[in-house]
Amino acid sequence: MTRLAVDARRLLCPLPVIRLQDQVAQLRHGDQVIIIATDPGVKLDIPAWCRVHGHSASLLDETDGEIRFLVTVEAAPNPPKPT
């Protein structure tokens, strides 16, 4: 299992998500990324991006305006059928 760090401080959304996405594209099932960002928009965008791609995201902490997420790369699921 690989665990990588992505520093997205000072970047405005959607750049933190783009940085995360580009990193995840290099990883495999079970690998993890810790991303640190300062734009509060990531609190919605990172979990949303993870949900649509079938990965999991958990908020680790938020201190002095710095927000850290742990993202675990899951097996890429097929897109769900439209309801």
Partner 1 sequence: MTRKALALISGGLDSMLAARVVQEQGVQVEGVNFFTGFCVEGHTHAIRKQSQTRPKRNNALWVAEQLGIKLHIVDVVDEYKDVVLNPKHGYGANLNPCLDCKIFMVGKAVEKVRDWGFDFILTGEVVGQRPMSQRKQTMPVISKESGAEGLLLRPLSALNLPATKPELEGWVDRERLYGFSGRSRKPQIALARRLGIQEWAQPAGGCCFLTDANYTVKLQDLWASRQQRQYELDDILLLKVGRHIRPRPHFKLIVAREEGEGNYLNGYRRMYTYLDSVSHPGPMTLIDGQVDEDDLELAARIVARYSQGRNAGSVEVEVGRPGAPPLRLRVTPFGSEEIPREWML
Residue 8's DSSP bridge partners are 37
Q: Does 21 bind partner 1 (CB under 8 A)?
A: yes
Residue closer to partner 1 (CB basis): 63 or 83 = 83
DSSP type of residue 49: H
Task: State residue 37 phi and psi, 5-degree precision.
Answer: -145, 165
Angle at 23 between CA 71 and CA 56, to 5 degrees: 20
Q: Does 68 bind partner 1 (CB under 8 A)?
A: no
Pattern 26-55, partner 1, x by CB under 8 A: -------------xxxxxxx--xx-xxx--
Largest alpha-carbon pair distance within the chain? 41
Q: Does 63 bind partner 1 (CB under 8 A)?
A: no
Binding site for partner 1 (CB under 8 A): 10, 12-15, 17-18, 21, 39-45, 48-49, 51-53, 65, 78-83
